[in-house]
A and B are shown apart, each in its own frame.
Chain A
């Protein structure tokens, strides 16, 4: 999990950090 921390975050966030 630690190895893919950001991917985990992106998958769990309901809104993406990018401004869609």
Chain B
């Protein structure tokens, strides 16, 4: 709070890292915020909602897997542009992306979420939870929408979303990391940069602990996505094998 940081990281270094991460986020965020706000009045019409609801379950799963995979490709690019990420060993880069890329997609989702109408930008328009009915996982969808709503209630700025995304991605407690210490150092620096940005933006005390709570919510969402995918795969193994994007299968494979 007095402007001092850990003795090993200078203020200039934190400022530089915060700038690097914010820039990487803007360059790889898939949709600009202004673009999303302009589109927010475009919600799906009832007959379009009916169209999604009457799709066969496997077709809707495939569509969502494609959309998630597209979003994840941007997250991979975000990771690559974070100072220090590409210096980690390749095993750890993969471990972090396997565990964290969907979490970052959920964080980024709050940018594309309209709290007033409880809708999210999906497949060209804003969609409510009913659009995803055919997936057959109402509880997961409700949790994802609730998460987006609670993230929105924090009113994070773009640089705060960027720094929080990097913090989530660089989690040093993921299983199978080979050089845990390196990841830990990078995550600590990112956390300091996040604190620095929060202070600079004059955010209220307690915002950091609210963000920490979101970390466990994200883990639970991803665990539930995996459970729902396993249940789907048990019924439609061939659909997953032949029609799901290869990157999605690599990330969420059994």
Residues of A whose CB lies within 8 Å of any CB of B are: 3-8, 10-11, 16-18, 20
Question: Can you name 22 A-B pairs with beta carbons within 8 Å?
Answer: A3-B253, A4-B94, A4-B98, A4-B250, A5-B250, A6-B246, A6-B247, A6-B250, A7-B97, A7-B250, A8-B90, A10-B247, A11-B76, A11-B86, A11-B93, A16-B74, A16-B77, A17-B73, A18-B73, A18-B74, A18-B77, A20-B27
Q: Tally of A-B residue pairs with Cβ under 8 A? A: 42
Q: How many residues of B contact A (CB 8 A)?
A: 19
Is the Cβ of B250 less than 8 Å from the Cβ of A3? yes
Check if A11 sits within 8 Å of B80, measured CB to CB: yes
> B-side interface residues toward A, CB under 8 Å?
27-28, 70, 73-74, 76-77, 80, 86, 90, 93-94, 97-98, 246-247, 250-251, 253
In the assembled complex, the CB of B104 is this many whole angstroms from the nearest CB of chain A, namely 15
Residues in A whose Cβ lies below 8 Å from that of B80: 11, 16
List residues of chain A with CB within 8 A of the CB of B93. 11
Cβ–Cβ contact B77 & A20, under 8 A: yes
**CB-defined contacts of B97 to chain A, threshold 8 Å:** 7
Q: Determine the chain A residues whose CB is within 8 A of the CB of B247 once the complex forms.
A: 6-7, 10
